[in-house]
Amino acid sequence: SADQELIRESWQKVGDSPLEHGVVLFTRLFDLDPDLLPLFKYNCKKFSTPQECLSSPEFLEHIRKVMLVIDAAVTHLDNLHCLEDYLANLGRKHQAVGVKVESFEAVGDSLLYMLEKCHGPAFKMNVREAWIKLYSTVVKAMSCGWNV
Ligand code: HEM
């Protein structure tokens, strides 16, 4: 569909340097919701600042993982239902580390922010709306993992 084409086109530029764009996304996320920072702890150690978190190899790995999940959604636009079990399980893992479903709203805003930074004026309303639809499908699938 036209929406799928818009998504694929706009993801291409992001996918060329996923880590860099993922850092923009998570920098924004910690601005919007600093309370998410303590959920990231590796070897039981919490970060004292977003900068410290954003420069840790383990966290950068998480960024890569996030970008891979979005990439998988973009690759499977035609049959997102084949990711449903995977995403529900991913949701369950996030519940286990203390993430609330509501926090995925700020993640969505940060995703749009990153896409906007990446594309500038080329990020038109119709592209934005296509992403909002895709992201809400992913969050809906992940939310099946809460309270199960
Ligand atoms: C794993 C937190 C959003 C994908 C994790 C882990 C934590 C975490 C603490 C375990 C440690 C690690 O693997 O680094 C969060 C928080 C988020 C968030 C606080 C925002 C509120 C996302 C999003 C995605 C995602 C939006 C993808 C759409 C993953 C993946 C893993 C993971 C793929 C690895 C799961 C596995 O081990 O099988 N997350 N995450 N995360 N996260 Fe997130």
Output the CA 131–ligand 1 centroid distance in Å.
Answer: 20
- pLDDT the model gives residue 52: 98
ipTM value: 0.98
The protein residue whose alpha carbon is closest to atom 3 in ligand 1 is 66
pLDDT at 28: 98
* pLDDT value, residue 148: 73
Give me the phi and psi of 45, to 5 degrees please: -100, 125
Give the SS3 label for residue 18: helix
Task: Point out which residues pair with 45 in neighbouring strands.
Answer: 42
Token pair of 42 as six digits: 């590796």
Cβ contacts of residue 61 below 8 Å, gap of 6+? Answer: none
- Please state, in angstroms and as integers, the Cα–Cα distance from residue 148 to each residue in 63, 70, 91, 92, following that order: 26, 24, 10, 8
- pTM over cut 0.95: yes
* Site residues for ligand 1, CB cut-off 6 Å: 36, 39-40, 58, 62, 65-66, 69-70, 90, 93-94, 97, 99, 103, 107
Q: What is the pLDDT of residue 147?
A: 80
Mean pLDDT, each 10-residue run in order, the chain (148 residues): 96 97 98 98 96 98 98 97 97 97 98 98 97 98 90
Query: What pLDDT does 108 receive?
Result: 98
The confidence score (pLDDT) of residue 94 equals: 97
C-alpha of residue 144 to centroid of ligand 1, in Å:
15
C-alpha pair distances (Å), 106 with each of 22, 26, 31, 69: 14, 10, 10, 17
For residue 148, report the distance from its CA to the centre of ligand 1, in Å.
18
Q: Looking at the chain, list the stretches that DSSP marks H as alpha helix, in order from N- to C-terminal side.
A: 2-16, 18-32, 50-54, 57-75, 84-96, 103-119, 125-143
Q: Rounded distance, CA 124 to CA 1, Å?
A: 17
Question: Which pair of tokens denotes residue 120?
Answer: 């500038």
Residue 65 alpha carbon, nearest atom of ligand 1: 33
C-alpha 99 to ligand 1 mean position (Å)? 9
- Distance of alpha carbon 52 from alpha carbon 14, whole angstroms: 24
